[in-house]
Structure 1
Amino acid sequence: MAYEDLNAALPAPAHPMANPGYGKRSAPDQLPVRAVTFGHLPAREAYVAGFLDRLPDGAAMDAKTLAKALPLYGQQAVRTALNNLSAAGHLRRVRRRAEVSDTGTRWVFHTYWSRTARDNEWWARLLDGDVPGAEPDPEPDPVAPGTPSEPAPKGAAPSDVQPKKAGPSPAYTALAQLGRTEPRLTLSAADCAALEGLAADWLARGSDTTQLLRSLAAGLPEQVHSPRALVQRRLRDKMPPELPTPEVRAPRNLMECTDCGVPGRPEALPGGLCRACRDAGAGADAGAGAATASHVALPADAVRHRVDQLRIALREPCRR
């Protein structure tokens, strides 16, 4: 058929690029392109696939932009073709958690494209980095390292800009308040600084400042000759146990439904589509089948019988 040679017929597309962190990303380990690479697809999907395969990495892959570049099909038709290409194993939408220095964590979004059709298991391994070459390149840092969070005062030299001094830590503050709770345990600034590390260990193990102060002030002797030594002893002897806290990390990569964009693990998105979008597609196919069935020609005898019934019905009003 004519669409079997779409790759050779299409000119090199002039297509807009997506914003950084978005757009097309070629899947690794693909077979070389041939004239019949997309011959197994319907004509519309083969046409769209041939166009997508020629786009460079980073090109915009949303249905609206693609529809402007594909004169044969509108936005809804392109969107349906993308869903069908996803179900056929050529396309997956993926969001990736990128660790960016000095700016925290952000998500980047890609549409992975493979001219070689892949099954759900292969795409799941790609998401986990088990396919050679599957790990995406690190995303560029949008904020250069060392960029100050606030601009320097106008006319000030770099050496005149001093970093803001951080306030006292919660552990230091708790020790400083100990003397107000129990005057016999009044500590100096030097005492608080020396004991700050032990108090911080308490807080790190799940205790709050109220529990810390109560434990230090309970059951004191009538006279305390050395508050610092007594507090240090109690901080060490009454140290709460260190409870293991399992590390809960968000998955580094998430797949998205090709149609609606809802995120999920690969096993929840077979064919790259969520359940709602799969059901909607199945309903549309069933409706199309019913419409086709309603136009099936009736046998000649049934047609004649129906015509006779209509003629009788038309004569009845004339007899009244």
Structure 2
Amino acid sequence: MDAKTLAKLSPDYGQAACRTALNRLHGAGHLRRFREHRPAEGGGMRWVTTTYFSRAARDDAWWGRMTRGEEPRPDAEPAPAPTPAGRPARSRAYAALATLTAADDRLPLSAADCAALEPLAAEWFARGAGEARLLAALTAGLPPQVHSPAALMRTRLVEKLPPEPERAAQAGPSPLRVMECAVCAVPGRPEALPGGLCRDCRGEPRPPQPHAWTAAEIRARVDELRAAARTNERLHT
């Protein structure tokens, strides 16, 4: 995924606009690029650049685990981030429950009902279900009158919960993976690329380099060591 390719697919936006959008997604923690060692066609291995996108914003620690192959479930939700007004943002699970009234007026859930049922709905998403599947399971075959919407939704969320997905044991180990800087694509360890950017692209000064000896200085130092060795031999003979 790069700005040039996206610009070809979206003629209304140029490469500069696409590059800006990618950089903002990257800076917000939604996107990282990795260099991976994968099998090549015809045998052998080759390095390929892979872009990973997370629907939820992730911190450097989460992406660091991705680098080590410790890939968490993609739908696992982080803690709600505070809004500019200081009020916690609603989760994906809460938002799905809040839409039930609009989907069927027999399900007038209150804010307290949605908050109480939120953990149960979140487990559906953690097991790979989407909003459409959750909505269908909660609204299909409702009786003409629902006397206790919250209780009925709790029962359906528990009894119709999808099974946990099978772990892909046959897929083999995770590929060797190195994070890349989002701007210059230089590879590096996650701790060397906070925010997905290298030191130069973050605008930080480089640490002072140790003094590099010239050839003349090396020869002079070798002569000093040889003279000291000869002196030491004379003293012990």
Q: Could you say which structure has the larger radius of gyration? A: 1
Normalised-by-shorter TM-score class: 0.3 to 0.5
TM-score by length of 2: 0.40
